[in-house]
Amino acid sequence: MMTTFSGLVDLRPGFVPRPGASHVLFDFDGTISLVRQGWPDVMVPMFTSIMPAIPGETQDQRSRIAFEDIMRLNGKQTIYQMIQLAERVRERGGVPDDPLEYKHEYLRRLNERIASRHAGLKAGTVKPDELLVHGTRALLDRLVQLDLPLYLASGTDEQFVKAEAELLDVARYFKGRIYGAQDDYRKFSKKMIINRILQENAIPGGQLVAFGDGYVEIENTKEVGGLAVAVASDEANNGSGRMDEWKRERLLGVGADICIPDYRDLDPLCALLFPG
């Protein structure tokens, strides 16, 4: 099966296709959208500027700790990363602010970074497909042709996910099935969305296929017996065909069934995931 792919692919030994797959779940940032590409370059410096210093600690060491904390929680709601920041401040002898205040400050900084992307999409000077992971639209079109209901679940606040999905002209593929973080973070998780999909459609977990570049959606999909497609997207060099090695190792490590850099190999990918 691997020889049919022209690009890179990692297939887990013992991979078993799911001819009965009936519902498909997508993460958003890094899996579909590149509007927020570079967000770690905003969050890591914010963390290091707030975390109290430890004697003898280098800036590189502080950045590495922040990066590991942030990426370990990638895919969960942003507030969980801010809760982790507050815990780091506390364990280093500081008095943390409310995690929600940290979240608001992060979003302020991030919005400054991505404002030109929003403006370009609204003005038409940036085409939507320029800010989609390579091959995304062709994949979504194919899945619609296969009559597979599509769901989107993101750790980004729901209002932003819906707005950016509209700007990228992908909201229409999901027909209202778009879910994101809530002000009360206890009311949303990807695990809750997965359980909702299974319950509302009265299907077993084995009929779910999920695409994601964060460990959360991969892990939650495997917990219910679904098929997990890791997208180790090289966000800074979209279309390069290379995998982000940090993502690749992390996602395969939590049980992804297959790992790809993007959706360039549409025909063999769909034949593999949705045979019959």
Burial class (CB in 10 A: 0-12, 13-18, 19+), 242: middle
**Length of the chain in terms of residues written:** 276
Q: What residue type is 179 in one-letter code?
A: Y
Q: Are 45 and 232 in contact (CB under 8 A)?
A: no
Can you tell me the distance from the alpha carbon of 61 to that of 174, in angstroms, rounded to the nearest whole number?
Answer: 42
From first to last of its 276 residues, what are the pLDDT tens digits of the chain? 444 899 999 999 888 888 899 999 999 999 999 999 999 999 999 999 999 999 999 999 999 999 999 998 988 999 999 999 999 999 999 999 999 999 999 999 999 999 999 999 999 999 999 999 999 999 999 999 999 999 999 999 999 999 999 999 999 999 999 999 988 888 899 999 999 999 999 999 999 999 999 989 999 999 999 999 999 999 999 999 999 999 999 999 999 999 999 999 999 999 999 986
The pTM for the full model equals 0.93
Backbone dihedral angles phi then psi of residue 92, each to the nearest 5 degrees: -95, 10
Question: Domains along the chain?
Answer: 2-34+132-273 (3.40.50.1000), 40-123 (no CATH)
DSSP secondary structure of 141-181: HHHHHTT--EEEEEEEEHHHHHHHHHHTT-HHHHTT-EEEE
**Residue 23 forms beta bridges with which residues?**
208
